[in-house]
Structures are given as structure tokens and as C-alpha cells.
Amino acid sequence: MIGVLALQGGFEAHAKSLSRLDVEVREVRTPQDLEGIDGLIIPGGESTTIGLGVEREGLGQPLIDFIDSGKPVLGTCAGMIMLDRDHLGVLDIEVRRNAFGRQLASFEAELDFEGERMHAVFIRAPWVEDAGDGVEVLAEVDGHPVAVRQGNVLAVAFHPELTDERRLHQWLVDRVHAA
């Protein structure tokens, strides 16, 4: 069972991507919704709104505890922001919001992702300004990290749920099965 944080943003598209991989999905809106799930997606959306929802629902510490337990987590776009030092603090990264520009500056790109090509959709996307020693950079755009991994957490600045790309969702499923 994989949870998708469902306070705001692209949670439904992530649930559809997981369903295509024959995975049971639960929307996470309260701390109780985290019970019994084996992995988690923190989707894109508006990071301030997601942060306010996390605070309102009392999800901050339960999310940190879930991630610290070693269960796999995928954060996309605003999800990357939520995982950084200034928000949940579970990834040793500093993220710059809207780094590539506002909505009109959204774009698609072919990335070199761990030695393979990956099509990526960037919408008001962040990039990683600073990454600690334990953070592995997996992909960059114009020299700016847009995909990182630290332990059980994979965070990307783009939206894999908006393409036919399934490798990142499959990464999460594979980590759940390996646990």
C-alpha cells in the first residue's frame, strides 16, 4: 500500500500512475492515514498551501517519523520543497522555489537521469541550491540539480505523473517490495 499526500496538488495523477503499476493506493490527509502504508508520494502543487495543510492536520511530525522509519518516499516539484531543510527537514538540501520562472516559463526537457534519458515536465519548478554530502545528484538542468536521492528519499523538481514515464513510481514500488 502506497500513500499519496492528498492535501493539494497532483495527488490524483500520482494515484493513477501507481494504479497502472497494480499498486494499492491510499490518499493521506491525516496522521491516521499514514498507518499501514509502505511508501509515500508527496506530490507537486503549491508548497505554501501544502505546508499550511500539513500544519492544519498535524501531519508535520508524523510525516517526519514516517520518513525517518526508512520507508521509501518520492517527492515531486512542491514535494521536493516540502522535504528540504526549511520545511520537513528530512533531506539535506536547500531548494529555490520557481527557480526556472513563473508559469509561463514552464518547459519540457530530456534529462540524463542516472545514465538514461528521461522526459520531464517542469511547471514553476524548483531546483536544488545546496546539497549536503549525503545527497546524490541524479539529474541536472543547466548545471542545477533537479533530481536527488538521500537514503530512502527520492526528490525531483519535475512531474513524472504527467507523462508516460513510470520509472520513478516503479522505483518507489521496488523499494516497498524490497523492504
* 159 annotated active-site: yes
Choosing from 14, 27, 35, 77, which is the catalytic residue? 77
* 169 sits in which H/E element: helix 167-178
CA torsion through residues 125, 130, 135, 138, sign: positive
Q: Is 161 a catalytic residue?
A: yes
Active-site residue 140, yes or no?
Answer: no
The DSSP code sequence of 115-139 is: TEEEEEEESS--EEEEE-TTPEEEE
List the catalytic residue out of 57, 87, 129, 159.
159
The three-state secondary structure class of 76 is: strand
Angle at 155 between CA 117 and CA 45, to 5 degrees: 105
Extended strands (E) in the chain: 2-5, 25-28, 39-42, 73-76, 93-96, 107-113, 116-122, 127-131, 136-141, 144-150, 153-156
Rounded CA separation 115/24 (Å):
30
- Supply 127's cell numbers: 531546483
Q: Determine which one of 14, 161, 165, 169 is catalytic.
A: 161
Active-site residue numbers? 77, 159, 161
